[in-house]
A = this chain, B = another copy of it.
Amino acid sequence: MSRLRFDISMSLDGYVAGPNASVDVPLGEGGEQLHEWIFGLASWRDPHGLEGGETGPDDAVIQESLEATGAVLMGRKMFSGGQGPWADDPNRDGWWGDDPPFRKPVFILTHHARETVTYANGTSFTFVTDGIESALEQAREAAAEKDVSIGGGADAAQQYLAAGLVDELELHVVPVLLGGGVRLFDRLGGSPPLLELTRVVDSPTVTHLRYGAIR
């Protein structure tokens, strides 16, 4: 059965978004620092329609993750645009444009039923209204032999973590202190999973820590 994994950029003090997020500052104050390391990478630029880019250890981590992923799970706010004024419009097509960078099936956790939307590049958005386990089951079927990845946001990752369903997590730890915002590890409930450190990759700008869950 395909594994459930996620990887996410996190500040050293544990935040995946900065404080005081708003329409103008969707990642919160300082939150953009969490993602700067990725924009120059070849593995990020390619699915976003950009040529070139850096290769190296950071790029290899991302490339490997993309290749291993057969389907994506996503929270509804992540899909529809976070803090934007459109975030509460459940019919909005997201902020992903006509060439969404996923190129694989995406399953969105929502309370609002909609028809599946498909794109020429292989991306599809399927809206799942009957809970995180159902979404995972559908994503596993779509992923076949590959992994299912949680594409964000933090609340979706927290729900799967709290339910004990995550097989692997990889944190991209960025050397900044945000001092506030959205913590990744929050609302985990009473019995957090046991973890095993399985890989460390580091570069001057980010440290990739991979953990497996021990059942």
Chain A interface residues (CB < 8 Å from chain B): 12-14, 171, 173, 175-179, 183-185, 188-190, 192-197, 200, 202, 204-207, 209, 211
Identical chains in the assembly: 2
In the complex, the answer to whether A197 meets B192 with C-beta atoms within 8 Å is no
In the complex, the answer to whether A197 meets B205 with C-beta atoms within 8 Å is yes
Interface of A is mostly: loop
The answer to whether A211 and B14 touch (CB under 8 A), given A197-B204, A205-B197, is: no
> Could you say which residues of chain B place their CB within 8 Å of the CB of A13?
14, 183-185, 188, 192
In the bound assembly, the distance between CA atoms of A205 and B196 in angstroms comes to 8
In the complex, the answer to whether B179 meets A211 with C-beta atoms within 8 Å is no
In the complex, the answer to whether B192 meets A179 with C-beta atoms within 8 Å is yes
In the bound assembly, the distance between CA atoms of A178 and B195 in angstroms comes to 11
In the complex, the answer to whether A177 meets B171 with C-beta atoms within 8 Å is no
In the complex, the answer to whether B177 meets A193 with C-beta atoms within 8 Å is yes
Q: How far is the CB of A25 from chain B (nearest CB, A)?
A: 16
In the complex, the answer to whether A195 meets B179 with C-beta atoms within 8 Å is no
In the complex, the answer to whether A177 meets B195 with C-beta atoms within 8 Å is yes
Q: How far is the CB of A194 from chain B (nearest CB, A)?
A: 7
Q: How far is the CB of A170 from chain B (nearest CB, A)?
A: 12
In the complex, the answer to whether A211 meets B171 with C-beta atoms within 8 Å is no
In the complex, the answer to whether B175 meets A197 with C-beta atoms within 8 Å is yes
> Could you say which residues of chain B place their CB within 8 Å of the CB of A193?
177
- Smallest Cβ-Cβ distance to A201: which chain B residue: B200
> Which listed residue, B14, B173, B197, touches A209 by the CB 8 Å rule?
B173
The answer to whether A194 and B176 touch (CB under 8 A), given A13-B188, A171-B12, A202-B200, is: yes
In the complex, the answer to whether A195 meets B175 with C-beta atoms within 8 Å is yes
> Which listed residue, B185, B197, B207, touches A14 by the CB 8 Å rule?
B185
> Could you say which residues of chain B place their CB within 8 Å of the CB of A171?
12
In the complex, the answer to whether A197 meets B190 with C-beta atoms within 8 Å is no
> Could you say which residues of chain B place their CB within 8 Å of the CB of A183?
13-14
> Could you say which residues of chain B place their CB within 8 Å of the CB of A207?
197, 200, 207, 209
